Amino acid sequence: MPPNILLITTDQQRVDSLACYGSSWMRTPHLDRLAREGVRCDRAYCTSPVCTPSRASIFSGLMPSRHGAWNIGCQVPADVPFLSHRLAAAGYSTLHVGKAHWQAMGVPPDASRESLHGDAEETFAGPYYGFDHVELANGHPGYNLRTGQHAAWVRRQGGAADLARWSGLHRRGAEFGGNAWDADLPLRCHNSVWTADRAVSLLSGRDPTRPFLLHLGFQDPHHPHALPRDFPDRVDPDAVPPPRVSAGELDALPPHFMAAREGRLEAAPTRGRHPMAGQYLGHDYRKVSAEDARLARAYYYGMVQLLDAQVGRVLGALDELGLADNTLVIFTSDHGELLGDHGLWLKGAFHYESVIRVPLLLRWPARWTGGRTLSGPISLCDLAPTVLSACGLANAAPLDGVDWSAHLAGEGTAPRDHAVVEYIDDPAGLRLRTLVEAEWKITVYENAPWGELFDVRNDPDEFHNLWDSPDHQVIRLRLQRRLEKVFPYRPRFAPRVAYS
């Protein structure tokens, strides 16, 4: 039988949130086991540091400016073929549980299957973007207990009084940037617990005559950094390193960096009536105290320990059902989180490593030797062609991603030595592209004179922008030319859905 595919995505997860990537303050035994038994990619990069573009790239193998869903608020165009479409056509059972975010959330229900609006119990179960069966979680824990199948499941766990009590979030810090919250929703009703429950159930009830693609969209550790009050496995705030900040570093960067730090940046997701309104605007991160940052970071990493336990339940189900050997397990995240580094929070038009570098673990015991590390750049748009190749299927059309299956099996050289990241805040405004190599990283802006150039080997914290350095103009020109060669910019902009 062809391999089963278990693709696990988290939301807004940094590389340093896993012990297997060297973080001594974390306890992530189940994901560490996945790394130990599989292949850990040390430098994996998302295609865009916001949800919808990156998630569409994972499943399509295309960069955001190719598939067209360029930012939050866009719908992935119906003519974009997903990995799920290809595998379903090849006879796979295709299943999704959790966050998808292939459609807009802050729009009326008649405009999106993933709308946050309306209060009717969600019963939609597919088909959806090539998945025969879907169970959607819309929004984030603490945001929304009204729509999506997770919310419907929570409502079945208690009465009106319980729901009113469970919807509470209690801030621990004084500022938005602190962003540490105690949630009244009990652990047994948490989104990650529901996701794992449904995964185990679907694995147990699968059709044994067909291989499966199961996508689990865990919503943590996306903000708000909220933990159930009854969750015991907390991260000690005193053990977490402080944010990486260097005095005056933003002065040598494009103006939107300082505007975001001072609460003056109106990024595209904040315009109009949208659930992310005010993501940057009005939040002066200079006011975030050291104590607020300490708590926010500890709560964030605690959310990862919570989801690690749930991933462990799913991996245990594979073992118990005898599926582990011939199941290709992939664990990654759509993008990272600044978490106070460089004096900034969240994600967006800042291509720091904290935001664009993500964990990527792959395990296929039947074919790949475990305990190995790939050190060179790999892009999340490489996942679709790699999975298709592992399943014995050829690419139906040219993709931006490349096939890593042979190299993951320990054969030959890496199929690429770079990754490309892009962010489109507004087709008529802020647009940037980044090329990452082994030693250098360059970011160029459309129709703007500024940019970023970092020596990532000797300046891993990215404190020193060398864009205007006279001693680095030859390197800058080489990288600019290479970026245009490997990824010529011919964007497709899908329309954004009108906000409700």
- The tens-digit pLDDT sequence of the chain (500 residues) is 899 999 999 999 999 999 999 999 999 999 999 999 999 999 999 999 999 999 999 999 999 999 999 998 899 999 999 999 999 999 999 999 999 999 998 888 888 999 888 776 678 899 999 999 999 998 876 667 888 899 889 988 887 788 878 888 888 876 665 589 999 999 999 999 999 999 999 999 999 999 999 999 999 999 989 999 999 999 999 999 999 999 999 999 999 999 999 988 876 554 544 444 445 566 889 989 999 999 999 999 999 999 999 999 999 999 999 999 999 999 999 999 999 999 999 999 999 999 999 999 999 999 999 999 999 999 999 999 999 999 999 877 889 999 999 999 999 899 999 999 999 988 778 899 999 999 999 999 998 999 999 999 999 999 999 999 999 999 999 999 999 999 887 778 887 775 54
Strands (E), 309-430: 327-333, 357-358, 360-363, 372-379, 419-424
Q: What is the 3-state secondary structure (H, E, C) of 73-132?
A: CECCCCCCCCHHHHHHHCCCEEEEEECCCCCCCCCCHHHCCCCCCCCCCCCCCCCECCEC
Q: Residue 68 belongs to what domain range?
A: 4-424
Q: Considering the chain, what is the average pLDDT of its residues?
A: 92
The kind and range of the H/E element at 6 are strand 4-10
Q: Does residue 152 contact residue 142 with C-beta atoms inside 8 Å?
A: no
Q: How far apart are CA 415 and CA 412, in angstroms?
A: 9
What pLDDT is recorded for position 381? 97
Residue 465 domain-assigned (yes or no): no
Asked, for residue 338, whether it belongs to a domain, the answer is yes
CA angle 438, 441, 447 (to 5 degrees): 150
Amino acid letter, 66:
R
**What ranges in 240-342 are assigned the alpha helix state H?**
255-261, 290-320
The answer as to whether 150 is a domain residue is: yes
- b/e code 26-44 from CB counts within 10 Å (16+ = b): bebebbbbbbebbbbbbbb
In the chain, the number of structural domains is 1
**What's the start-to-end Cα distance of the chain, in Å?**
47
For 357: left if phi > 0, alpha if psi spans -120 to 50, otherwise beta; the answer is beta
Please give the pLDDT value at position 499: 53
Element housing 34 (H / E): helix 29-37
The per-residue pLDDT for 243 is: 97
Domain CATH code at residue 292: 3.40.720.10
Q: Is 179 within a domain?
A: yes
Residue 118 inside a domain? The answer is yes
Q: Is residue 451 part of a domain?
A: no
Encode pLDDT of 364-411 as tens digits.
999 999 999 999 999 999 999 999 999 999 877 889 999 999 999 999
What span, in angstroms and rounded, lies between the C-alpha atoms of 180 and 407?
41
User: Which of 316, 303, 363 is closest to 35 using CA atoms?
Assistant: 363
Q: How many helices and strands in the chain, by DSSP H and E?
A: 13, 16
Cβ within 8 Å of residue 268, ≥6 positions away:
71, 72, 73, 425, 426, 429, 430
Where does residue 445 rank: exposed (0-12), middle (13-18), buried (19+ CB within 10 A)? middle
Model pLDDT, residue 442: 98
Q: Is residue 217 part of a domain?
A: yes
In a domain, 296, yes or no: yes
